Chain A
């Protein structure tokens, strides 16, 4: 009953949600929402460079987003401007650079709206391979990095003192984030990737009693949002990315309704 493109979009979207959910948990635990946004915005510069230099789109976006992340870390360490101001500058500068560069390239015609907000029609068979291949890679790496990442999220000092190399874990985390942005761009679009990272994770908090369950819950909630959003997109002829975000928002709002007490939170408070 589905057109073929729709099945492809579903498979691709679920693949992205499964990887974005666990990574998104770290983004909210580490308060990196704006950081993720900045990396995502730099993806458009990656798109422009990919067209200009005729290289693979995913590779180009991955490289640009990684470089922006490393640049941000270096500038933060230099410490002349606040992290907030730096993020604001890099976020919109890289987005604008990408747009300007694309405008110069009069010989290419790109569907800008598709890149910015996602386009289910654009999902090809090879995109699905990239999404699932990349997604499995991200999840395996995340399992491998789990302990140092959790430990350094709780306390960089403890992680470092007890020999877990938090700085290396953070660098790998940035690379994973860049990879997810590169593969998620086509489905949800550059401007909305961060919401697919954050909203399912924030929703999962309500029903989680450990970091591990929260990561799994975020993946499942993200997948549900993708399914709901894509069906909505088909039904109402709305752009795929915003539809998925609206579906995620709907689940988040439901999670706020106090139907039952949150698992593991106040209810399990020990005597003091």
Chain B
């Protein structure tokens, strides 16, 4: 399922885009494209600018530098990271579906059935659990048959098996409708298999590529050939700089800069091999909860245990 399914038709493209707030760059130098039929996944630690980049891409934030281009008349289906609906608003899942445009009964039923939220149609959204709410929001976004689905952490509150099912569903929707998908995630171990392009964010785009490349790498073989896969994971690249608490950046060569910017000459982006395999006690300082654990052989979600 990792063959190219996307065409060359661009839905949106960012070129060197950056957002500055209060004199601080939230993200800088963000360049990526989403094509029709392509699933692009952004990963990265909290505060790395994933959401900001996605918000820029769909026009919720204006870039202070660089450019954001979207195809004319692009129809977006958006699932935001968080939202709060006041309890005083009586809103059933069914009513939520036609929030931004009219839908037929059939379309509503079909979308709810697809996301496994059919039984929740009459429930009030404020009474849903986190996982149920995410399913309802996803159903709403796909029901409007978008050209581009933008999903900001769509599996929050969804349990592990539900998570796999949701990612498979997203991939299914892409296959059937041919829409582009921009996905934000911090747990890549499941999403990896169904992704065409991975973009790793760390205040800027610090690396990008296909998951096949990652899953064929030597580290991957070592990892799954050796100590098993329970708590182990590996990075497809190394971070060559550290973000200090005061916002400055310490680079591999020991120098300090105020910003993390690809063009500042401190980065080592061509150097994507890894210097160690992560284990529970490798002491590398990386957050192991966020490390990449790709599916064996790149097959969809089959490494789930």
Which A residues fall within an 8 A CB radius of B?
A: 28-31, 147, 150-151, 153-155, 157-164, 201-202, 205, 208-211, 213-214, 264-266, 268-272
In the assembled complex, B161 has its CB within 8 A of some CB on chain A: no
Please name 14 further chain A to chain B contacts, defined as beta carbons within 8 Å, in addition to the given A154-B89, A162-B144, sorted by A numbering: A147-B100, A154-B83, A154-B85, A154-B96, A157-B60, A157-B80, A161-B59, A161-B60, A205-B88, A211-B91, A214-B90, A264-B122, A265-B90, A265-B127
In the A-B complex, the 7 residue pairs with the closest CB atoms: A161-B78, A270-B123, A162-B100, A270-B120, A155-B83, A29-B89, A268-B122
**How far is B296's CA from A2's CA once the two chains are assembled, in angstroms?**
85
CB pair B100 A160 closer than 8 Å: no
Compute how far the CA of A271 lies from the CA of B121 in the bound complex, rounded to whole angstroms.
Answer: 11
CB contact between A213 and one of B88, B90, B119, B123 (< 8 Å): that residue = B90
On whether the beta carbons of A210 and B91 are closer than 8 Å, the reply is yes
Chain B residues contacting A163 (CB-CB under 8 Å) are 76, 100
A155 contacts B80, C-beta separation under 8 Å = yes
- Nearest A residue to B144, CB-CB: A162
Q: How many whole Å from A56's CB to the nearest CB in chain B? A: 35
Quick check: is B304 within 8 A (CB to CB) of the other chain?
no
What is the CB-to-nearest-CB distance from B120 to chain A, in angstroms, rounded to a whole number? 4
CA distance A161 to B76 in the complex (A): 7
Among A159, A160, A208, which residue has the most Cβ atoms of chain B within 10 A?
Answer: A160
| B99: contacting residue among A29, A154, A160, A202, CB under 8 A | A154
The answer to whether B100 touches A158, judged by C-beta atoms less than 8 angstroms apart, is yes
Pick the contact of B100 from A151, A153, A209, A265 — CB < 8 Å? A151
Q: Is B58 an interface residue (CB 8 A)?
A: yes
> B residues 136-183 with Cβ under 8 Å of A?
144, 150
Whether B92 is near chain A, meaning CB under 8 Å from some CB there, is yes
Are the C-beta atoms of A210 and B95 separated by less than 8 Å? Answer: yes
Check if A271 sits within 8 Å of B119, measured CB to CB: yes
For residue B88, which residues in chain A have a CB less than 8 angstroms away from its CB? Answer: 28-29, 201-202, 205
A151 to chain B, nearest CB (A): 5
For A214, list chain B residues within 8 Å (CB): 89-90
CB distance from A99 to the nearest CB of B (A): 33
Closest Cβ–Cβ distance, residue A214 to chain B (whole Å): 6
In contact, A270 and B78 (Cβ under 8 angstroms) = no
Segment 61-98 of B: residues with Cβ below 8 Å from A: 75-78, 80, 83, 85-86, 88-92, 95-96
Q: Any chain A CB within 8 A of the CB of B113?
A: no
| Residues of A close to B77: CB separation below 8 A | 162
Interface of B is mostly: loop
- Residues in B whose Cβ lies below 8 Å from that of A158: 78, 80, 83, 99-100
Q: Is B303 an interface residue (CB 8 A)?
A: no
Given the interface contacts A161-B150, A162-B101, A266-B127, does A30 sit within 8 Å of B86 by beta carbon?
Answer: yes
Number of interface residues of B (CB under 8 A): 34
**In the complex the two chains form, is B90's CB within 8 Å of A208's CB?**
yes
CB distance B59 to A159 under 8 Å?
Answer: no
Inter-chain contacts of A269 with B (CB < 8 A): 123-124, 127
Please judge, given known A-B contacts A161-B76, A270-B120, A270-B123, whether A151 and B99 are in contact too, CB under 8 Å: yes
How many Å lie between the Cα of A248 and that of B5 in the bound state? 61
Shortest C-beta distance, B241 to chain A (Å), equals 31
How far, in Å, is B54 (CB) from chain A's closest CB?
10
Bound CA–CA A147/B96 (angstroms): 11
Please report the C-alpha to C-alpha distance between residue A201 and residue B60 in the assembled complex, in whole angstroms.
31
CA distance A229 to B78 in the complex (A): 46
Residue B132 interfacial (CB < 8 Å): yes
Given the complex, which residues of A lie within 8 Å of B132, measured CB to CB? Answer: 270, 272
The CA-CA distance from A125 to B15 in the complex, in Å, is 63
Q: Which B19-58 residues sit within 8 Å CB-CB of chain A?
A: 55, 58
Give Cα A30 to B89, complex, Å.
Answer: 9
Interface string of B264-294 (1 = CB under 8 A from A): 0000000000000000000000000000000
Neighbour of B89 across the interface among A157, A211, A268, A272, CB < 8 A: A211
Q: Which residues of B contact A164 (CB under 8 A)?
A: 100
Kindly list chain A residues whose C-beta atoms are within 8 Å of the C-beta of B122. Answer: 264, 268, 270
Q: In the complex the two chains form, is B100's CB within 8 Å of A159's CB?
A: yes
The closest CB in chain A to the CB of B129 belongs to A272
